Amino acid sequence: MTRYRYYTATTLDGFLADDADSLAWLFAQHIEEDGPGNSATFIADVGVQVMGATTYTWILEHERDWLPEIPTFVFTHRDLEPANEHVSFVAGSPADHRAAFDAAADGRDVWVMGGGGLAAEFAAAGMLDEVLVSIAPVTLGSGKPLFGGAFDLALQECDRNGDFVVARYDVLGPLKTS
């Protein structure tokens, strides 16, 4: 059964990147490559990655090797260039594309890479099973938000890796306010 998992790093005040999309705050942190929540263990189960247009263009400009040769769906309204034959462009609700994502994942996980608005779109569509965050000991005050909506989650695991608090949550559904 395909799991939809939002795996990311965040500042303590809930930002994925600063206002200029810089990850300098992230690269300054210490992490143990084989420690809790490490990316290699997570990626070993991933069959598909999905991301928003800002994340895609940032990766192309700065870290092209973060685009492994697996099916990659980029949400955009723009006419972007595919980086390789594995990249497809989609728009609209994640639910409209679930069959395609599931088929491409073939039982493996879908990595929802972000940003936070897109992660919330997946959660709103009932297509986000888990949030796995590495929380850095830094605040930015403003930037690109970790999440774009109000949802209830349940903490399943919590650990330390280097400078980071590493936590895994199940997504329960829209936040109940009463």
* Range in contact with ligand NAP (rule: CB under 6 A) among 64-72, 107-115, 123-131, 163-171: 107-115
Residue spans of alpha helices (H) in the chain? 24-27, 39-43, 53-62, 98-105, 116-124
Considering beta carbons, is residue 23 or 138 the nearer one to ligand NAP? 23
* Range in contact with ligand NAP (rule: CB under 6 A) among 32-40, 99-107, 108-116, 168-176: 108-116
* Strands 130-136 and 109-112, sheet pairing: unpaired
Q: Min. distance of Cβ 112 from ligand NAP in angstroms?
A: 9
Whether the link from the prior residue into 115 is cis, omega within 30° of 0, is yes
- Contact code string over 135-174 relative to ligand NAP, x by CB under 6 A: ---------x------------------------------
Q: Residues, the chain, total?
A: 178
- Report CA torsion sign: 36, 41, 43, 47: negative
Binding ligand NAP (rule: CB under 6 A), the pick from 110, 114, 120, 128 is 114
**Should residue 6 be labelled a site residue for ligand NAP when binding is judged by CB under 6 A?**
no
Tokens 């997504």: give the residue. Answer: 171
